[in-house]
Structure 1
Amino acid sequence: MTNGATISLADDQIFGNQILRGIKILRDHLGCSLHEALNAFVARYEVMRAERPEDFACGHEEYWVGFYS
């Protein structure tokens, strides 16, 4: 899987509020720790939230409800 395809898959999970799936995709592709994958997910989330807020399934306040790291 190419880096672009992985980012695309992770973006799909980010937009769909599928946090754990997105982290797993990044962790598997990058071969990094869970903490590093979470950091990568959050960084990508912030970019996508700024660039394409209309593509999210829910608002920022709702996004992280129920997710504890």
Structure 2
Amino acid sequence: MTNGATVSLVDDQILANQIIPGIKTLRDHLDCPLHEALKVFVARYEVLRAERPEDFACGHEEYWTGFYS
């Protein structure tokens, strides 16, 4: 998987509120520990939330409901 394909896949997973699959994708691609993949996921989430808020189906609070790290 290329970098561009990974970013696109993770972006799609973030926008679809697929937190765990998105973190797993990053962990597999970056070959990093879980906590590092979570940091990258959250950073990308924040970029997308700022740049493409209309692409999210729910608000920030609802997005993270039920996810505990």
User: Which category of TM-score, normalised to the shorter sequence, fits these structures?
Assistant: over 0.9
Equivalent residue letter for 1:51: E
Match of 2:39 in 1: 39
Shift of 1:61: 1.3
Task: List runs of 5+ in structure 2 lacking aligned partners.
Answer: none
Match of 1:63 in 2: 63
Shift of 1:57: 1.7
Tell me the TM-score normalized by structure 2: 0.98
Match of 1:23 in 2: 23
Shift of 1:14: 0.3
Q: Matches of 1:37 and 1:17 in 2, distance apart?
A: 16
Task: List runs of 5+ in structure 1 lacking aligned partners.
Answer: none
Equivalent residue letter for 1:24: K
Match of 1:4 in 2: 4
RMSD, aligned CA:
0.5
Give identity over the alignment, percent: 81
Match of 1:54 in 2: 54
